[in-house]
Amino acid sequence: MRAYSRAAQSYGSVQVVTGVATADNVQLIQMLFDGLTESLASAKGHIQNNAIEEKSKALSRAGRIVVGLQGALDFERGGELAQNLNELYAYVTRRLFHVNAYNDLAVLEEVQSLIKDIAEAWKTLPSLLGQTQPAMRYAN
């Protein structure tokens, strides 16, 4: 897992991973991470309260957000880092399935920690963009 943590830490220093065009797109990604963080916290509470249906809904939402984040990756411009993040997102998706099947709080907390690292890197991105590159193309 340390390799994934290192990838997450370096995530903020590479501006081209998703081909972000403007701060608005960075804010959209940040909002996705906020929603993902909220969904994971909600799922944790629902597991603790044995609210199975609500837990499943929260984890489903989290999974859809992770798929959206995967879809935003620009493999051409992001290279190895984009590939590493893709693998991390695939890993997170598998872990979410595990959490949903087994109500495993330890695995959920692992996912929360991974997502927190990446989300924090995204929070540093606007200042890096302002210092290094005024605008980038959005890859679609």
* Domain residue ranges of the chain, discontinuous segments joined by +: 2-132
* Amino acid code (one letter) for 67: V
Q: How far apart are CA 50 and CA 112, in angstroms?
A: 19
Task: Give the integer Cα–Cα distance in Å for 136 and 120.
Answer: 21
Please tell me the predicted confidence (pLDDT) of residue 2: 52
Is pLDDT above 80 for 70? yes
Mean pLDDT of 50-79: 96
CATH topology of domain 2-132: Four Helix Bundle (Hemerythrin (Met), subunit A) (1.20.120)
Query: Could you tell me the pLDDT band of residue 10, with boundaries at 50, 70 and 90?
Result: very low
* DSSP label of 104: -
The C-alpha atoms of residue 42 and residue 59 are separated, in whole angstroms, by: 9
- Residue 75 confidence class, pLDDT cut points 50, 70, 90: very high
